[in-house]
Each structure stands twice: as structure tokens, then as C-alpha cells.
Amino acid sequence: LGPGVDSVSLPGVLMPELTGPNTSIQQLREMAATGDAFPMLESNGTVIGKFILRSVEERKSNFLPGGGARRIEFALELERVAD
């Protein structure tokens, strides 16, 4: 993310068999519903800026016999706001 970048698309994959229960996507949806800006951090804790979560999309695949997904692909659309 450099100067002048106002929007960011972040794709990702969750593997519930490895990462545990799928509660992260629901938490992201709840954050998006507030319309509030949240800080984006690098893995070392450095704040990149504040962003509004505009959308959360998910696609489930590789289902277990009970109906749970083995693979959940997701995409986040973020919009930077002034600090």
C-alpha cells in the first residue's frame, strides 16, 4: 500500500480443519455492518491506516459429509479513510 491508494482488495483462504471454527468471516461481516473504520496492521504491529470494510464475500467448497466446508475462500474490499 503506497501513497494515494484509496481501496484495497484482500483475498484469502480458510481451511477450518486446520484453522478451527469459521467465526472470522462472521466477525468481519459484523465489522462491515457498523460502517466504522478499523486500523489495518502489518504483522509486526505497524499501523498502515484506517479502513472501512465495504464488502465481505465468501465461497465454500470441498464439503464434509455433515455439510461443513473444508475450504472457504473469501475476499474483502476495503476503503481507506483519512487518519
Which whole number is the average pLDDT over 15-40?
A: 89
Residues 38-59 have pLDDT tens digits of: 999 999 999 989 999 999 999 9
Q: Name which residue leads in pLDDT, 34 or 64.
A: 34
What are the Cα distances from residue 78, in Å, to 2, 58, 82?
14, 15, 13
Report helix, strand or coil for 32. Answer: helix
